[in-house]
A and B are shown apart, each in its own frame.
Chain A
């Protein structure tokens, strides 16, 4: 399997604090890679460096073998890299459908065609499919702000898939979601991973969720990679137990 994403020796310092201190890993085509580690170990900072939200102090990010370090988040998104945030980031005043159309519109045509073309950028059908896929049908015309937390979390994830991304970085998708909805979310993610051949990197603290969803798990501690491997290997790794999982 070829690598979709190759990260080489990424560093990010804030003043004297080395939030990410030389992290290297690769993400293989079609896999679901889990990223775990204690709070403050640099997981989200690493995401932000990969996605161009932060400029890394050092190191290199390659997408399909092309160096993409220093590209803006919107440019990376156009190249097929999408993300969700740790905190909810839906547009509360827009309806569920409008949120999804917004999430996909920049992948349709160009600036000029988006000005003179259709109001929905031709995405109503695709948005409705996504709404059906995430079982949000009865809420399609509701303002997103009126949805429950779990439903907004689903919408947030759905938005990341509207542009048909190849690589999706999910930052704590399960945080604050109740168990039954969590099963739903996992099922949806697995389905998209298989059917659309989308590759995922998932930050998550819910161990059961990570271990059952991911094909490989990377553990970070104090800005460095502590371990990388299959879930059962990682779970048994003494260093991981020491730093994160506990006895």
Chain B
């Protein structure tokens, strides 16, 4: 996103944040639900973007971690625990399971790794469905309470939307910090050239496991917010198709770009709503739109912007060189 002047970037960012706070105030119940869902899915997609986009480790299990977080929150809050405690448990649980799931990545890569994580995804779904003593099985868990934050009830859609938005803000800041830290650079090195990374002292094993664990933990956070958002969960939303949806969000938005997941989640959550006018055809239109985008720009929407800015930089640089050359010739 470099290439824009810094004040312009800050102004744009503030405008978007203000709009996200103010505009939804007069949204109806459904609009707020969709927007809250966007915030929650953005968190999960940011996690996957860390694992896949930055560290280059393919995962088809992010939906399972959303499920793990959702069940942790649903079980705990229906037994009287406060939501922040449930979020903490969701984070610890998904981090630990994500860490363990990272071990296969030390041996297998790419589509082989995709299949390992796919198998895990299926396993998690079966656990949600079959262990009914814990998860309520196919009947799920209902009447999931929404929290009181600083004494304010968030039962109504608008306050709970702000809970989701606030959580998104915290996660965004944390991820921003992470990717600009030496860890972010190490993740990228792991993706681009693990052999060279090792020779520079980068412990690729530890960073691979960390990439899985942190990415999965964010899936858990998203799940822990999803449960009180819908107030009812059953195993179906957390099957493989959620993992594929999240993968689509990351790829369409632009894998390895900071703002990719926000855009990707917007398209995956909102575009089907906007295409409702097409009634029965909306899914077809959606599918065609995704195919066209990926043919045009395999690196996603932000890939288009990145290419444009890179082109502009190259042009500017060659113009500078031309000027320098002509000056040199005049001197001679």
Contact B181 A117 (CB under 8 A): yes
How long is the Cα–Cα vector from A85 to B198 in the complex, in angstroms?
Answer: 12
B182 in the interface (beta carbon within 8 A): yes
Contacts between the two chains (Cβ within 8 Å), count: 82
Contact with A along B191-217 (1 / 0, CB 8 A): 011011111111111100000000000
CB distance from B299 to the nearest CB of A (A): 12
Q: A89's closest neighbor in chain B, by CB?
A: B196
Contact A119 B182 (CB under 8 A): yes
Which of A89, A92, A101, A163 contacts B201 (CB under 8 A)? A163
Known pairs A77-B199, A106-B202; A91 contacts B193 (CB<8 A): yes
Contact with B along A114-147 (1 / 0, CB 8 A): 1111010100000000000000000000000000
Contact A119 B180 (CB under 8 A): yes
Chain A residues with CB under 8 Å of B178's CB are 115
Chain B residues with CB under 8 Å of A94's CB are 185, 188
Contact with A along B158-197 (1 / 0, CB 8 A): 0000000000000000000010111101101100110111
Which of A51, A77, A83, A91 contacts B189 (CB under 8 A)? A91
Q: Which of A37-81 contact B (CB under 8 A)?
A: 51, 53, 72-74, 77-78
Q: B193's closest neighbor in chain A, by CB?
A: A89
Which of B188, B193, B203 contacts A74 (CB under 8 A)? B203
Chain A residues with CB under 8 Å of B181's CB are 114-117, 119
Which of A51, A92, A117 contacts B199 (CB under 8 A)? A51
How long is the Cα–Cα vector from A108 to B202 in the complex, in angstroms?
Answer: 11
Between A77, A101, A102, A121, the greatest number of chain B beta carbons within 10 A of the residue's beta carbon is seen for A102
> How many of chain B's residues have a CB under 8 angstroms from any CB in A?
23
Contact A103 B200 (CB under 8 A): yes
Which of B185, B195, B203 contacts A102 (CB under 8 A)? B185
Chain B residues with CB under 8 Å of A74's CB are 197-204
Chain B residues with CB under 8 Å of A101's CB are 182, 185
How long is the Cα–Cα vector from A163 to B189 in the complex, in angstroms?
Answer: 16
How long is the Cα–Cα vector from A122 to B279 in the complex, in angstroms?
Answer: 57
A21 in the interface (beta carbon within 8 A): no
CB distance from B214 to the nearest CB of A (A): 10
How long is the Cα–Cα vector from A98 to B192 in the complex, in angstroms?
Answer: 14
Contact A114 B182 (CB under 8 A): yes
10 A–B contacts, CB within 8 A, in A order? A72-B198, A74-B201, A89-B195, A89-B199, A106-B182, A107-B201, A111-B206, A114-B186, A115-B181, A162-B200
Which 7 pairs, one residue from A and one from B, show the smallest C-beta to C-beta distance? A106-B201, A77-B201, A73-B198, A89-B196, A114-B182, A105-B182, A74-B203
6 more A-B residue pairs beyond the given contacts A74-B202, A116-B181, with a C-beta to C-beta distance below 8 A:
A51-B199, A77-B201, A93-B192, A106-B182, A106-B186, A115-B181
Chain A residues in the interface with B (C-beta under 8 A) = 51, 53, 72-74, 77-78, 82-83, 85, 89, 91-94, 98, 101-103, 105-108, 111, 114-117, 119, 121, 159, 162-163
Chain B residues in the interface with A (C-beta under 8 A) = 178, 180-183, 185-186, 188-189, 192-193, 195-206
